[in-house]
């Protein structure tokens, strides 16, 4: 029995290792064309902040290696985003053996929905949240004597964290669906923890949007609260009491 359990663990570990190798290999493959088109990708990445810059301001780098490292970073970010459908697929493939045959038939829906939710969240951040956030951070604290000269590394780091955070936040209903399928949570349990979820969501929003204004934090807090409520509904529809 012990050997069987050990073999089962090793089998699961082997599957996980193969999945990670596939993801890393695809990221490396996609990194090559992403780096080739790095100027276009960089230009698109800086759109949310470019419109907020004063006329006498530019995005700069202060260390010789910083220009190269920033291009490498944005290329890896692009390759990671493009790899996300495979990440969803591999995660689902890893947990699928534990599901019933009927539940396995939802594989295509889970993979497609998971990919769409991530891209919708990333797009909403890029198109709406990031421009407003950059505008507040740059123009609210600039003056005649203080001119904003954003550093490229800090700018890309901040933008990357925002985009990935929103992409993951939009995955919440799907995560609740999967947990409910396993019986790990239920709508009743989530409802009873609503007040704690609001507190935790507020803390997460404050950490992920390190600004002093309330509006930027609300851009992340509102989706967290809304998706928690959606998660409760999804769990009620998915979880089956014994």
- Per domain, the residue ranges of the chain are 1-46+59-88+101-170, 173-242
Give CA separation, 82 vs 76, 143, 174, 176, in Å.
10, 39, 19, 24
Q: What pLDDT is attached to residue 237?
A: 86
Q: What pLDDT is attached to residue 76?
A: 96
Q: What pLDDT is attached to residue 229?
A: 92
Q: What is the largest CA-CA distance in the chain?
A: 75
Digit-by-digit pLDDT tens for the chain (242 residues) are 444 444 466 676 788 889 999 999 999 999 999 999 999 999 999 999 998 888 888 999 999 999 999 999 999 999 999 999 999 999 888 877 766 666 666 778 888 999 999 999 999 999 998 998 888 888 887 777 888 899 999 999 889 988 998 999 899 988 888 888 777 888 889 999 999 999 998 888 877 765 556 766 777 888 889 889 999 998 888 876 65
Q: What pLDDT is attached to residue 101?
A: 64
Task: Report how far residue 13's alpha carbon sits from residue 94's, in angstroms, rounded to the nearest whole number.
Answer: 10
Q: What pLDDT is attached to residue 1?
A: 41
Q: What pLDDT is attached to residue 110?
A: 85
- Specify the residue for token string 């002093």: 212
Tokens at residue 168, please? 């993951």
Neighbours of 173 (CB within 10 A): 20
DSSP state of 206: H
Q: Are 60 and 152 in contact (CB under 8 A)?
A: yes
Q: Are 95 and 127 in contact (CB under 8 A)?
A: no
pLDDT digits (tens, 9 = 90+) for 158-191: 899 889 989 998 999 888 888 887 778 888 899 9
- Specify the residue for token string 């089962």: 8
Contacts 24+ apart (CB under 8 A), 80-89: 80/27, 81/119, 81/122, 81/163, 81/167, 82/30, 82/34, 83/23, 83/26, 83/27, 83/30, 84/115, 84/118, 84/119, 84/167, 85/111, 85/115, 86/22, 86/23, 86/26, 87/23, 88/114, 88/115, 88/118
């Amino acid at each position: 029995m012990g050997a069987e359990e050990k073999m089962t663990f090793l089998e699961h570990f082997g599957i996980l290792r193969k999945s990670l190798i596939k993801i890393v290999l695809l990221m490396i493959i996609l990194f090559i064309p992403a780096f080739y088109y790095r100027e276009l990708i960089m230009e698109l990445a800086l759109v949310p902040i470019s419109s907020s810059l004063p006329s006498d301001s530019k995005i700069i780098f202060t260390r010789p290696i910083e220009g190269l490292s920033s291009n490498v970073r944005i290329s890896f970010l692009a390759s990671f985003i493009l790899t996300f459908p495979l990440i969803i697929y591999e995660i689902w493939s890893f947990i699928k053996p534990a599901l019933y045959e009927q539940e396995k038939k939802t594989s295509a829906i889970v993979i497609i929905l998971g990919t769409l939710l991530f891209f919708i969240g990333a797009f909403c951040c890029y198109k709406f949240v990031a421009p407003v956030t950059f505008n507040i951070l740059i123009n609210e604290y600039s003056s005649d004597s203080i001119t904003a000269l954003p550093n490229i590394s800090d700018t890309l780091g901040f933008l990357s964290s925002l985009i990935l955070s929103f992409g993951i936040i939009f995955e919440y209903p799907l995560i609740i669906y999967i947990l409910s399928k396993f019986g790990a949570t239920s709508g009743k349990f989530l409802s009873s923890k609503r007040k704690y979820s609001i507190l935790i969501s507020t803390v997460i929003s404050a950490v992920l949007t390190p600004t002093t204004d309330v509006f930027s934090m609300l851009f992340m807090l509102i989706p967290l609260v809304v998706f928690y409520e959606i998660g409760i509904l999804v769990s009620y529809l998915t979880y089956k009491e014994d």
